[in-house]
A and B are shown apart, each in its own frame.
Chain A
Amino acid sequence: MSVAVGRTSPRAQLGTQAPRIILGILGLVVVVWLAIKASQGGTTFIQVTLNGITTAALYFVVAAGFTLIFGLMRVVNMAHGSLYLFGGYVAYIAQTHWFGGGGSQFSLGGASTTSIAGFFVPLAFATLVIGLVGLGIQQLLLRWNQGQDLRQALITIAVSVIFADQMVAHYGGIVQSIQQPTSWPNSITIGALRYGFFRITVVLGSAIVIGVLLYLLFKHTRFGMTIRAGVDDRAMLSALGVNVQLVFAGAFFLGAMLAGFGGVLGGTMISVGPGLDTQFLLDALIVVIIGGMGSLVGAAIGALLLGLVQSYSAIYLHFGSLDLSNYGVMTSFILVIAVLAVRPLGLFGRAA
């Protein structure tokens, strides 16, 4: 897949100007509409915005792993959503079996309590297990198909289908959720605003910490330099004595761990249940397509855009008596089309 970018003739330039102008107007309309809404209901608007940002944080964690794997290995890991969901289930099972917590979202018992360890041990355990599962997929299935993009995509799709069925078979179809520590508050209040504690502290905090750590890893460690060099020129890197297979394995392990970690966060913040694997795969795909495949900054910006667009369109898509809320799902794709029309490789994408 190669897209020609760069010098364009005046005629072609005119062609690319048209979508820019249309999208500029569209963007302006959206901003004005949001400004009106913001002035009408301040607290609701802040809450909706925070929903968008915290959802974006979760998307970023998941998409960062996806984009890391793609950037280095050119593997579009279609099983990334399965790793996400499986991470949630592993933590859920660990929590219920080892700490007696957890439970259906609809059970109002509240008899069981969850300790701090009862949350963090399953979180760490699931993250590690998913890292190893990802490593297994890479070593057993992908390694000997290197450079065969289509084959690798099909293999990971097959893996995701098998995972989806197996998870339904073993964990059932009921939506569950992982319990946060009972000692933590459910929400925090700032002035007139009440907001979910877990979302704003743990999820948003994790995303920021992970973003910073990944940045430092890429920018300042030898492993990070090796990954960047591997993205640029794999064969040359190997000719300098670097065992590229080892770097691949490390990157896949790390990317899968991020999916698993995200799965636990999502399983606590929202839920764990069938169908979330494909939903998060799709969201991760949208994020990296908007942001540019392989770019960490792109994943952050893409996640933020997607999170906000989804969050706003779930609430603000009614205009007087015209209620378009049901079409909210479409706005994600309008976002993709809008970004790709202007930047075919995504906001921070570079030609391979």
Chain B
Amino acid sequence: MTDADLLEVQDLHGYYGPAHVLHGVSFTVGERPVSIIGRNGMGKTTLCHAIMGIPPATLSGSIRFAGLELLGKPSYRISRAGISLVPQGRRLFGSLTVDEHLRMVGRGKGNAQWNANRIYELFPRLAERKRNDATQLSGGEQQMLAIGRALLVHPELLIMDEPSEGLAPRIVDELVETILRLADEGVRILLVEQNLGVATSIAERHLVMVAGEIATELSSYQLASDPELQRRYLGVEPLSE
């Protein structure tokens, strides 16, 4: 793979009706994972939805993926172009079992990189719970299923919106490991996180979102070493040593 930027967001504006929620967001994602951090309500999820083409925000600007303009394209075309979303809150299908989630999404490409069996290898816990409804899974299992489901569309870029939300610390560690493994396998990752520990273990570049704008870009070192910065941009308690 080349170093070329796969995803290029330029001057992206977003509106919910008259409310202006994205104010000219610009950034790129290349080979290495990138994280977007910021407080609640700063437009992080709106940004994820905008890239993925999920309504209802009205958008202007440009979202280019591998040279292809995505803005205005329906969601399923964006997915087929190679972007997949692990949404906030997982958004699993309540009427489907674990196995049905994976069988429904799996597309039978001849040289398919991902199929249901590989997902079960990646997450053996899911194999044990094949016949269960998605609603019966624990938070960690639900997150595994949401990731597995997203991988089955063979994404080049995986957008993960707060994957660690609501998970126990031990599960979060496993999750970080899985994401790093995926990154090693060549899946590019755009991570939205409020958990700085997770963000800094996965990404080196961190875009700080404040009020619908990318306020600044920080390295893991800058972010981790400056409690004042953390407090100002994120409103979080500093990383404990």
* Residues of chain A at the chain B interface (Cβ within 8 Å): 222, 225-226, 228-229, 231-233, 235-244
8 closest Cβ contacts across the A-B interface? A241-B79, A238-B75, A225-B104, A228-B95, A229-B93, A232-B93, A236-B91, A239-B75
Is B131 part of the contact surface with A, judged by Cβ < 8 Å?
no
A239 touches B52 (CB 8 A): yes
Is B107 part of the contact surface with A, judged by Cβ < 8 Å?
yes
A115 to B223, CA, bound (A): 83
B104 touches A226 (CB 8 A): yes
Is B87 part of the contact surface with A, judged by Cβ < 8 Å?
yes
Which residues of chain A come closer than 8 Å to B55, judged between CB atoms? Answer: 235
A236 to B52, CA, bound (A): 10
Contact of A233 among B93, B103, B153 (CB under 8 A): B93
Chain A residue with Cβ nearest B149: A240
Contact count band on B:
20 to 34
Is B96 part of the contact surface with A, judged by Cβ < 8 Å?
yes
Is B38 part of the contact surface with A, judged by Cβ < 8 Å?
no
Chain B residue with Cβ nearest A229: B93
A226, A229, A238, A239: residue with the most chain B Cβ atoms closer than 10 Å: A239
Contact of B95 among A229, A239, A242 (CB under 8 A): A229
Chain A residue with Cβ nearest B81: A241
For the complex formed, measure the closest distance between the CB of A220 and the CB atoms of chain B, giving whole angstroms: 9
A244 to B54, CA, bound (A): 12
Which residues of chain A come closer than 8 Å to B53, judged between CB atoms? Answer: 238-239
B103 touches A238 (CB 8 A): no
Is B76 part of the contact surface with A, judged by Cβ < 8 Å?
yes
A197 to B124, CA, bound (A): 55
Which residues of chain B come closer than 8 Å to A241, judged between CB atoms? Answer: 76, 79-80, 105, 107, 153
Which residues of chain A come closer than 8 Å to B78, judged between CB atoms? Answer: 239
Which residues of chain B come closer than 8 Å to A233, judged between CB atoms? Answer: 91, 93
Q: Mark B146-163, 1 if CB is under 8 A from A, else 0.
A: 000110110000000000
B103 touches A236 (CB 8 A): no
Which residues of chain A come closer than 8 Å to B84, judged between CB atoms? Answer: 239-240
* Residues of chain B at the chain A interface (Cβ within 8 Å): 52-55, 74-76, 78-80, 84-85, 87, 91, 93-96, 100, 103-105, 107, 149-150, 152-153
Report 14 cross-chain contacts, Cβ distance below 8 Å, ordered by A residue.
A222-B104, A228-B96, A229-B93, A233-B91, A236-B87, A236-B93, A238-B54, A238-B74, A239-B76, A239-B84, A240-B76, A240-B150, A242-B76, A244-B76
Which residues of chain A come closer than 8 Å to B76, judged between CB atoms? Answer: 238-244
Which residues of chain B come closer than 8 Å to A232, judged between CB atoms? Answer: 93-96
Which residues of chain B come closer than 8 Å to A240, judged between CB atoms? Answer: 76, 79, 84, 105, 149-150, 152-153
A342 to B75, CA, bound (A): 40
A44 to B226, CA, bound (A): 87
Chain A residue with Cβ nearest B155: A241
Which residues of chain A come closer than 8 Å to B87, judged between CB atoms? Answer: 236, 239
Which residues of chain B come closer than 8 Å to A242, judged between CB atoms? Answer: 76
Q: Please give 13 more A-B residue pairs, beta carbons under 8 A apart, in addition to A232-B93, A240-B153, A242-B76.
A: A226-B104, A228-B95, A235-B75, A237-B93, A238-B53, A238-B76, A238-B79, A239-B53, A239-B54, A239-B78, A239-B85, A240-B152, A241-B153
For the complex formed, measure the closest distance between the CB of A71 and the CB atoms of chain B, giving whole angstroms: 10
A232, A233, A240: residue with the most chain B Cβ atoms closer than 10 Å: A240
A235 to B45, CA, bound (A): 14
A244 to B91, CA, bound (A): 17
Which residues of chain B come closer than 8 Å to A228, judged between CB atoms? Answer: 93, 95-96
A233 to B87, CA, bound (A): 12
A241 to B85, CA, bound (A): 11
A241 to B54, CA, bound (A): 12
A244 to B84, CA, bound (A): 16
A244 to B153, CA, bound (A): 16
For the complex formed, measure the closest distance between the CB of B201 and the CB atoms of chain A, giving whole angstroms: 26
A235 to B85, CA, bound (A): 11
